[in-house]
Each structure stands twice: as C-alpha cells, then as structure tokens.
Amino acid sequence: MVRILSIAYYFTDNLQYASKAIELLRVWFLDNGTSMNPDLRYTKMAPGKNNGSSTGVMDAHNIPDIIDAIGLIQHSPLWTKQDQLGVKLWSTKYLDWLLNSD
C-alpha cells in the first residue's frame, strides 16, 4: 500500500497520497506504541512449538520497496527530517540484527 500511495503522490503531487503513506510508515517504523522491532526474532513463531524461525527473514523481502517508496515521498512537506532519521535508525538496527544475530 505504501508503495502505491508513494507512486500516486510522485505522479500527482496530491498530498493526500503522501499523507496516508507517511501515516502508515510512521505506524510501522516510528511510533513507539505500534512500530515493528528492527529484528525478526519472533517471526514464524508458533506458541508452544517454537520461539520463532529464521525463515521469517523472507517475510521482509519487500523492505527495498519501502525504501524506494520513501524516496518518492521524501520531498513532500509532510515527511520530516525526524521521519527520515527515524527510518534510517530503524534500518541501521535491522541491518545490525541481520549481520550479527544468531
């Protein structure tokens, strides 16, 4: 959804598209109450069976699409420097987890 909204904003300059894309990005990556941890430790978790599986990394295959989408909306007046820094920090933590976790 973020990808489609970002493309729509890029081609139309309609801030409604950017606004919804940014709202979704903030919920997923930046909001302390709702954001996803920058690791996939507990993906593919089955309560009572396991504490997660490394195959959950495959579920994040669309992260490059999100990065591209941010590139399309980053010049919107609604996307702040704080948003940009927050996503960069999240991405840095995620990469660190990918490279250094068991």
pLDDT tens for residues 45-66? 667 776 666 666 777 778 899 9
pLDDT at 48: 73
3-state secondary structure of 46: strand
Task: Map out the domains of the chain as residue ranges.
Answer: 2-100
Question: Checking phi first, is residue 23 left (phi over 0); if not, alpha (psi -120 to 50) or beta?
Answer: alpha
- For residue 50, report the phi and psi dihedrals to the nearest 5 degrees: -155, 170
- Element of type H or E holding 17: helix 15-25
Whether pLDDT at 77 is above 90: yes
pTM of the model: 0.84
Q: In whole numbers, what is the pLDDT of the chain averaged over residues?
A: 89
